[in-house]
Amino acid sequence: MASATHSLCASLASNCRVLHKQNPTFPSNSNLHLGFLSSSPSLSSRLSFSPVFSPRHTFHSLPKISNSEVEVADSEPVEAVVQSEPNGSDPESAEIVQASSEVPKREEVFAVVMIGSRQYIVFPGRFIYTQRLKGANVNDKVLLVGTRTTTYIGKPVVTNAVVHATVEEQGLDPKVIVFKYKKKKNYRRNIGHRQPNTRIRITSIAGYQDYPAVTLDS
Amino acid sequence: MNKDKIFKLAKGFRGRAKNCIRIARERVEKALQYSYRDRRNKKRDMRSLWIQRINAGTRLHGVNYGNFMHGLMKENIQLNRKVLSEISMHEPHSFKALVDISRTAFPGNKSSVVPPRKEGLSIVL
């Protein structure tokens, strides 16, 4: 219960890996619909495009996963609280590894996105499992965006905010056995079920600057 | 074979239910029935857990859960309880912003919840 509460705006040098996105289940609760992807890791259907093509993304020509991770590892956590937008300007600044802070795998932005009528907390560079999608790769309902210093709360949506993601893999959930049984009536049904899902790698969160209802936090 | 499947599902059961096929079959059938029922119950339990967590988080700021959700509904913020409970645990500043928004939207909390009184050493801190 609420064991590791590494808060986003807490220590600057902490590696906020609270949601443990490497295994896509949250620490103690929630996201009951997500499961481990145990089927073949073949990256067959990889559709990736971003309609909002900002000139900053120079690496964006190849939709490879390694590139997206390089992009993410570029932006470092900023020490001073004065600079309120730490990401977005950093893909140009190449791989600067700061000695004072560790290199985090993700930036200090997060967003709350609604996909398939479910809401997810999303970090760039991590993947999530969603319901099976057919192809669109831009999430249009961004409900809330938070950075290290500011929070943009959408009512209900943060306008012009876009979360880019690429479809990594379309697989199946682990099998659940649906067993129906009525006693003394000789009724037994044994059915296996694997729900199709899609693994999505989040590449970037953008476009949330200049949102009017910015609340500045400490 | 069916027997092997039953024994595979009966791992960790108590006593003869993991070794003897007659008993194991019964117990495994019962376990599968429970899992069918509990896949539906899990959704209810999770939601109640999220509500408890949101309640705890908002009461730290002097707002109770009912008024908090009312304020959010008034402001047309459509975050669901799962996400709100995660934010209340891991992003306290964002959560405080949400609580403030709700408080301005629906100020019904003056007398309902008071932040806990500090006694002893914590007065000084």
Contact yes or no for B94 and A146 at CB 8 A: yes
Beta bridge partners of A216: A150
Q: What is the ipTM of this complex?
A: 0.74
Tell me the C-alpha distance between A173 and A129, whole Å.
9
Contact yes or no for A5 and B82 at CB 8 A: no
What is the SS3 assignment for A22?
coil
Tell me the C-alpha distance between A94 and A194, whole Å.
43
Question: Chain A residues with CB inside 8 Å of B93's CB?
Answer: 7-9, 151, 217-218
CA distances from B18 to A183, B3, B10, B30 (A): 22, 11, 5, 13
Helices (H) and strands (E) in chain A, counts: 1, 11
Q: What is the largest CA-CA distance in chain A?
A: 72
Per-residue pLDDT of chain A (218 residues; tens, 9 = 90+): 444 344 443 343 333 333 334 334 343 333 333 333 333 343 333 433 334 343 443 333 333 333 333 333 333 333 333 333 333 334 333 334 333 333 444 557 788 888 888 888 888 888 888 888 776 666 667 766 666 566 777 677 777 778 888 888 888 889 999 999 999 999 999 999 999 988 888 888 877 666 665 665 54
Is the CB of residue A85 less than 8 Å from the CB of residue A151? Answer: no
What is the SS3 assignment for A5?
coil
B43 closest CB neighbour out of A32, A178, A217: A32
Which pTM value belongs to this model?
0.62
Angle at A113 between CA A112 and CA A114, to 5 degrees: 130
CA distances from A187 to A163, A182, A207, B10, B64 (A): 49, 5, 56, 21, 48
